[in-house]
Structure 1
């Protein structure tokens, strides 16, 4: 299957002043428009610049062809070149990354010159590129992914998909998928009449994006950073484990803060946005 993307820029500037920006790395799955409220909540003297990774053809195509032809360091190098055109040299800017975007943020730090480095780094419910959070055999637990997929459906389609992770734990995949379908229809995220076969196709596409990211992490060797880092974790994130989601293994004493929402709604929840704005001010 051949994938194509419109000719769009890697960097998306949101309305705001031309001051020292907050640069946020977006890994895709949901549209850039999902950050509208976040952009409005950032200090207007800064403004938000979004790095849309899906505008990198090799990254975007890998999720559809299941053939990865790029690396995390190559992607970070492309981001570094784009940021130099802002520019970021000598500026008091902030670097942020949501989900897999946090891994690209971290790799980027090793490619910037001293005068180009951000004031601090903020990762939003991002798992560090360390063995603890990487599937070494290249496979992901489909039922665990289904819990993430339920959150994604609600964010992507609107409505709610009320399926707590504990209800899915230990279930066989097909009955669990059927429960997600019922909850999505009841919550208005899917139309009545949607079939499990149709939903399974959407799930497979979603999972393939995660497998691509996992493949990229398997081939990556993260470097240590001393830059100040904040890990912002929502009430319902990707994993239910205490701590810094592995970032303490690749960064000096990252600070962990909590905010409302789940992996996706944290980008739009007013209280979570206020928390992000305070950290990035």
Structure 2
């Protein structure tokens, strides 16, 4: 069993870590699956999926949390951010240096990682003979899979100040549950109309009642965790500001958990960026726990293995 997110080693500022990692030993001849990890939770979250892949497959992670500029912008909101295109450049550079771009692979991105994965696929799909990049194989990406990622389309882009507290607190409740290894559920609309302070009070009471937090947990401690979470969300919002890519002439596979970031959006906006009909899958779990759900991990492993065998 993979460790829960709150038992993994936390990243310390100033400690350099590689952008590209492999969760388990890989045969050089193994079929390649590349995952873009958003960094909000430790990359160990992928271990359950990695363990379920066939033995002739290898999962390689591009952990965006290990990009110094990206990580730092989640700590200090006044820092300039690194954009989606540059993050994709960093990932492609690492993948090429590791020899992973000399054959076709399946590409998957979780949350904000799905947006960066889309840009990586766009680079590889649109390169013509005159745009050939040394070391890259034409038609590299067999399948593009996004895991509860909000598409970078105009309908979902909004300034930081327009992000609604009720929505962000609902997301934070899922995140807090994942950090603590317990599901935290809120009644529908319980946070509607509440500001951050009142909403955090409701969330704290629910977390204590459901055993997610200990009785006597100080509101200041929860506020500190929420502030860090909120800063990371704003960082991602700033990273995607103005990034409105063209649709790709490919099918995008959208995997949506039962407790999604945007439960009222059937396709999370991806129909506007896929030149072909979407492939959509519904899976158990919420945005932050989906990779740990055994049924979801089985579904994802089968999906990623199938994609790497096409073409």
**Residue 204 of structure 1 aligns with which residue?**
227
8 Å contact from structure 1 (residues 259, 272) kept in 2: yes
- Partners of 1:55 and 1:234 lie apart in 2 by 26
Q: What is the TM-score normalised by the length of structure 2?
A: 0.84
Q: Secondary structure at the match of 1:109?
A: helix
SS of the counterpart of 1:110? helix
| Runs of 4+ off more than 6 Å | none
Residues 115, 151 of structure 2: 8 Å contact kept = yes
1:68 corresponds to: 80
1:6 match: 15
Secondary structure in 1 aligned to 2:47? helix
Separation in structure 2 between the aligned mates of residue 277 and residue 126 of structure 1, nearest angstrom: 18
TM-score using structure 1 length: 0.92
Compute the displacement of 1:89 (Å): 3.1
99-108 or 154-163, which moves further after superposition?
154-163
Separation in 2, partners of 1:251, 1:68 = 30
Shift of 1:191: 2.5
Given that 2:35 and 2:60 are in contact with CA atoms closer than 8 Å, whether structure 1 keeps it comes out as yes
1:238 equivalent to 2:246? Answer no
Residue 176 of structure 1, CA deviation: 2.2
CA contact (8 A) 1:138 1:211 kept: no
Quote the offset at 1:22 in angstroms. 1.2
**1:47-105 CA distances to partner (integer Å, 9 max, x unpaired)?**
21111101111101111111223211111100000111232334231100000000000
**Contact preservation (8 Å) 1:90, 1:115:** no
Distance 1:260 1:200, change over 3 A: same
2:159 corresponds to which residue? 136
The count of aligned residue pairs is: 279
Q: By how many angstroms is 1:173 displaced?
A: 3.2
Residues of 1 paired with 2:37 and 2:101: CA distance?
22
In structure 2, relative to structure 1, the CA distance for the partners of 1:4 and 1:158 (3 Å cut) is same
How large is the RMSD of aligned CA atoms in angstroms?
1.8
Question: For 1:64-213, what aligned pairs fall within 5 Å after superposition?
Answer: 64-66=75-77, 67-112=79-124, 113=136, 115=138, 117-136=140-159, 138-213=161-236
**What residue in structure 2 maps to residue 21 of structure 1?**
32
Unaligned 5+ segments in structure 2 are 1-11, 125-135, 306-311
- Higher mean alpha-carbon deviation, 73-82 vs 11-20, is at 11-20
Q: Distance in 1 between matches of 2:265 and 2:83?
A: 29
